C-alpha cells in the first residue's frame, strides 16, 4: 500500500497490493418501459432480444442484470433490478442515468444541458435561496433547481425517491455529507432562507406525522429523526429551510414538512434542493438529479444561491453549476494503460460513446505527478500529443489520465482489443517478508495462540479513543464511505482488543494473534507515511502479567533466531512500570506488557490482559 499524506485533514490513500473492505455495490429497480424508452437512441423503447444481449450492453455502465422482470405482470408494471459495480459513478444509480449511458454508447447523441452555469459566468436566476452565516458551522452548503412542465407519475415519483435514497444514502454517507429534499413550488413564497436555529425554538408538522414537533422532539420521536439524528443531535444549532413567510420546507437532513415537502403524483412544478458538508459532492448530486429529470422531459430552471460567507465556489452560485476540470492524457499513456496503440481520432470516437467531450491537444506530461499510479514514470518536460477530456456535467470521476484511458477502453469496448500472448516468462515467488511472516505465524500457533484476520480500516473511536491514543500519527481517509472505516490502523492491538471485547463468554485463557499491515504518518518517507508488517499477540486470563508476557516474547524470539533487548516504556496503552519497549540492533521495534485498566474498561474487558506487537519488517 502506498499512502499519500498531506495536511492533517486531507490524507489520501493510493491502494495497491492492499486488501480493504469493499463497499456494498448499489442496486436499482427500474421500470422496464421507462428504462427501455430512455435507453433507445430513437426513443421508441426498443428492447434487447435476449437477457445475454442486455447484460452485454450494461457493461458500458459497469452494471449487470441482477434480476429480470416478472413476465406475468402487465408490461407497464414490470421492473428490472440492476446492480452497479462502480462506486465512483453515482450518476448511474438511477433509471435515467443508467439508460443515458446505454443510449449514448449505442449511438445516441450526447445530451446538452444549457441550464448549467460555470465559473466566470454571470451568476443570476429568477429565484433565490439565501444562506445565512448561522449555518456555516453546521451544514454549510446548498444547491438546487426547479423542475417543471410535466406531471409526476407514480413511476417517476418512485424513481425520484429511489435516486434520492441512493444519492443521500450511498454517495452522501447516510445523509451526512449529502441529503436531498423535494418540494411543491405552488405554495412556496420566495426567496427561501437556509439558516441555523435552536432545536427547541422551532416546531412544524413533519412528513408522516399529524402534530407539530420541535426539531429536538423530531430526533427523539420521528422514525427519520431516530435514524438520522446522530448527524445533528450534538450540535448547538440545527439547519432549517424556510420560505419568506417563515413556513418550514424541511429540517435537513432529517425530514420534510408535511405541507410544502409533501410531493404527490400529479404535481407539475418542483423545487429540488440538496444540502451537505462537502460543496463539490452537494453540487454534483444536484447536477445528477437535474440531468436525470431533463432527460425525462422536465424543464430545468436554475436558482441563485447567495451565501453570507465565502465558499470554494464563491458567495453567489447559480445551480446547477459545472465545476469539473479537464484532464489531459497523452497517447503514450493510453497505449501504456490499454496495451494497444490508438490514434487521437480513435480515442475521441471512443470518448464520444461515453458522453465525454474531448479534443486533440498537445500538453506537457507530468509523469507521476499527473496522478498515474505507476511511480516509476519519471517527470519530463517535452510537449506530447494526446487528448484533453471534460467530464460530463453529471460526472466528477476524472482524477487523472488513467480515468480518461479507462473511458477510452469502455467506449471502444473490450471485445475490440485483440488478444495477445505474454511476451515475457516470469516465475512468481513470495517476498522475504511473506516467508518470515509465515514463520512467525507457525511459531505463535505452536505456542497455543489462535490466528485472527482483521480489516485494516476502522473508526477513530476504536483506533484512537479506546486505545488512549492522541491520534497524531494515524492516517485519515479523505472520502470514507462510512465512519466505521474512516482511519487506517497504526497498530494491531486495537483489532485484538476488539475481538477480546466480544469473547467474554468463552473459557479463559484466551490467546489470539495477528500478522498484518499497519500504516502511520512518517515525515521521513516520500509519501509522508509508512506501511509496515506487524505481528501482535494478546493473552487474557488470570495469569496475564508482565512475567508471562516477557516469557512469551522470549519464546518467540528464540524460535525466530533473533537477539533483542528491552527498556522501560511509557506507552499509554500499558500499565506504567509494567511495560517495556522491544529493542533490536539499538532501535525500538515494538512493545509488550500489561494492558492499562482504563483501556480494558473502554473495551468492556473484565479480565487482565497482556499484549505485544512487533515490527517484523525491522527484524529483516
289-314 pLDDT per residue, tens:
999 999 999 999 999 999 999 999 99
Query: What is the structure's pLDDT at 449?
Result: 97
Alpha-carbon gap, residue 102 to 104, rounded angstroms: 6
Residue 375 has pLDDT above 70, yes or no: no
Query: What is the structure's pLDDT at 100?
Result: 94
**Backbone φ and ψ of 50, nearest 5°:** -135, 165
Alpha-carbon gap, residue 319 to 301, rounded angstroms: 9
Alpha-carbon gap, residue 484 to 280, rounded angstroms: 23
Element (H, E) at 288: helix 279-295
Query: What is the structure's pLDDT at 612?
Result: 97
Residue 17 has pLDDT above 80, yes or no: no
By the 8 A CB rule, do 270 and 183 touch?
A: yes
- What is the mean predicted confidence (pLDDT) over 183-210? 93
All three cell numbers of 496, joined, read: 485484538
On average, the pLDDT of the chain sits at 89
Residue 371 has pLDDT above 70, yes or no: no
Alpha-carbon gap, residue 371 to 44, rounded angstroms: 42
Percent of the chain predicted with pLDDT > 90: 68
Residue 525 has pLDDT above 80, yes or no: yes
Residue 16 has pLDDT above 70, yes or no: no
Buried b (16+ CB within 10 A) or exposed e, 335-349: eebbeeebebebbbe
Residue 20 has pLDDT above 70, yes or no: no
Query: What is the structure's pLDDT at 366?
Result: 57
Alpha-carbon gap, residue 331 to 339, rounded angstroms: 11
| Residue among 116, 66, 35 nearest 303 (CA) | 116
Measured at the alpha carbon of residue 405, what is the angle toward residues 403 and 409, in degrees to the nearest 5?
115
**pLDDT tens-place string over residues 530-577:** 999 999 999 999 999 999 999 999 999 999 999 999 999 999 999 999
**pLDDT tens-place string over residues 492-522:** 999 999 999 999 899 999 999 999 999 999 9
Residue 14 has pLDDT above 60, yes or no: no
% helix, strand, coil for the chain, step of 5: 30, 30, 40
Residue 365 — pLDDT band, cuts 50, 70, 90? low
- What is the mean predicted confidence (pLDDT) over 50-66? 90
Query: What is the structure's pLDDT at 471?
Result: 86
Amino acid at each position: 500500500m502506498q499512502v499519500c499524506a498531506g495536511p492533517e485533514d486531507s490524507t489520501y490513500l493510493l491502494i495497491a497490493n492492499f486488501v480493504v473492505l469493499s463497499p456494498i455495490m448499489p442496486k436499482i429497480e427500474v421500470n422496464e418501459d421507462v428504462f427501455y424508452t430512455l435507453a433507445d437512441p430513437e426513443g421508441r423503447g426498443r428492447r434487447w432480444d435476449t437477457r445475454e444481449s442486455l447484460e452485454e450492453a450494461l457493461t458500458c455502465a459497469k452494471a449487470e442484470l441482477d434480476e429480470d422482470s416478472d413476465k406475468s405482470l402487465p408490461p407497464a408494471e414490470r421492473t428490472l433490478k440492476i446492480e452497479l459495480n462502480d462506486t465512483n459513478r453515482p450518476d448511474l444509480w438511477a433509471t435515467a442515468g443508467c439508460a443515458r449511458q446505454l443510449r449514448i454508447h449505442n449511438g445516441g447523441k450526447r445530451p446538452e444541458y444549457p441550464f448549467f452555469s460555470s465559473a466566470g459566468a454571470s451568476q443570476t436566476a429568477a429565484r433565490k435561496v439565501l444562506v445565512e452565516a448561522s449555518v456555516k458551522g453546521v451544514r454549510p452548503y446548498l444547491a438546487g433547481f426547479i423542475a417543471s412542465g410535466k406531471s409526476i407519475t407514480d413511476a417517476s415519483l418512485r424513481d425520484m425517491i429511489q435516486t434520492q435514497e441512493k444519492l443521500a444514502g450511498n454517495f452522501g454517507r447516510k445523509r451526512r455529507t449529502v441529503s436531498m429534499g423535494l418540494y411543491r413550488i405552488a405554495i412556496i413564497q420566495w426567496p427561501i432562507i437556509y439558516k441555523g436555529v435552536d432545536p427547541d425554538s422551532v416546531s412544524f408538522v413533519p412528513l408522516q406525522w399529524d402534530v407539530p414537533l420541535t426539531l429536538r422532539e423530531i430526533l427523539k420521536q420521528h422514525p427519520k429523526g431516530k435514524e438520522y439524528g446522530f448527524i445533528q443531535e450534538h450540535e448547538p444549532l440545527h439547519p432549517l429551510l424556510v420560505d419568506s413567510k417563515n413556513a418550514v420546507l424541511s429540517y435537513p437532513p432529517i425530514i420534510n414538512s408535511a405541507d410544502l415537502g409533501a410531493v404527490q403524483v400529479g404535481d407539475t412544478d418542483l423545487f429540488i434542493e440538496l444540502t451537505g458538508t462537502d460543496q463539490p459532492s452537494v453540487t454534483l448530486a444536484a447536477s445528477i438529479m437535474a440531468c436525470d429529470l431533463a432527460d425525462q422531459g422536465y424543464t430545468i430552471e436554475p436558482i441563485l444561491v447567495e451565501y453570507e460567507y465565502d465558499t470554494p465556489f464563491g458567495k453567489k452560485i447559480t445551480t446547477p453549476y459545472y465545476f469539473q476540470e479537464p484532464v489531459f492524457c497523452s497517447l503514450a499513456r493510453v497505449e501504456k494503460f490499454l496495451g494497444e496503440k490508438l490514434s487521437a481520432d480513435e480515442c475521441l470516437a471512443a470518448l464520444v460513446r461515453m458522453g465525454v467531450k474531448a479534443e486533440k491537444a498537445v500538453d506537457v506530461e507530468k509523469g507521476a505527478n499527473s496522478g498515474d499510479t505507476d511511480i516509476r514514470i519519471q517527470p519530463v518536460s517535452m510537449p506530447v500529443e494526446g487528448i484533453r477530456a471534460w467530464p460530463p456535467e453529471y460526472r466528477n470521476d476524472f482524477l487523472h489520465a488513467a480515468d480518461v484511458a479507462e473511458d477510452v477502453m469502455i467506449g471502444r469496448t473490450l471485445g475490440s482489443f485483440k488478444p495477445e500472448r505474454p511476451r515475457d516468462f516470469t516465475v512468481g515467488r513470495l517476498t522475504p517478508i511473506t516467508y518470515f511472516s509465515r514463520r512467525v505465524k507457525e511459531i505463535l500457533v505452536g505456542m497455543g495462540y489462535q490466528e485472527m484476520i482483521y480489516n485494516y480500516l476502522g473508526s477513530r473511536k476504536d483506533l484512537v479513543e479506546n486505545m488512549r491514543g492522541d491520534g497524531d500519527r494515524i492516517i485519515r481517509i479523505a472520502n470514507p464511505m462510512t465512519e466505521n472505516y474512516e482511519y487506517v490502523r497504526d497498530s494491531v492491538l486495537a483489532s485484538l482488543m476488539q475481538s477480546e471485547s466480544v469473547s467474554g463468554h468463552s473459557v479463559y485463557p484466551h490467546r489470539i494473534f495477528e500478522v498484518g499491515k499497519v500504516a502511520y504518518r512518517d515525515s521521513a518517507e516520500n509519501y509522508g507515511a509508512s506501511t509496515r508488517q506487524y505481528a501482535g499477540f494478546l493473552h487474557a486470563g488470570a495469569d496475564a502479567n508482565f512475567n508471562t508476557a516477557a516469557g512469551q516474547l522470549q519464546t518467540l524470539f528464540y524460535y525466530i533466531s533473533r537477539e533483542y533487548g528491552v527498556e522501560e516504556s511509557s506507552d499509554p496503552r500499558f500499565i506504567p512500570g509494567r511495560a517495556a519497549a522491544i529493542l533490536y540492533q539499538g532501535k525500538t521495534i515494538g512493545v509488550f506488557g500489561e494492558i492499562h485498566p482504563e483501556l480494558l474498561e473502554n473495551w468492556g474487558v473484565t479480565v487482565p490482559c497482556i499484549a505485544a506487537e512487533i515490527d517484523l519488517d525491522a527484524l529483516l
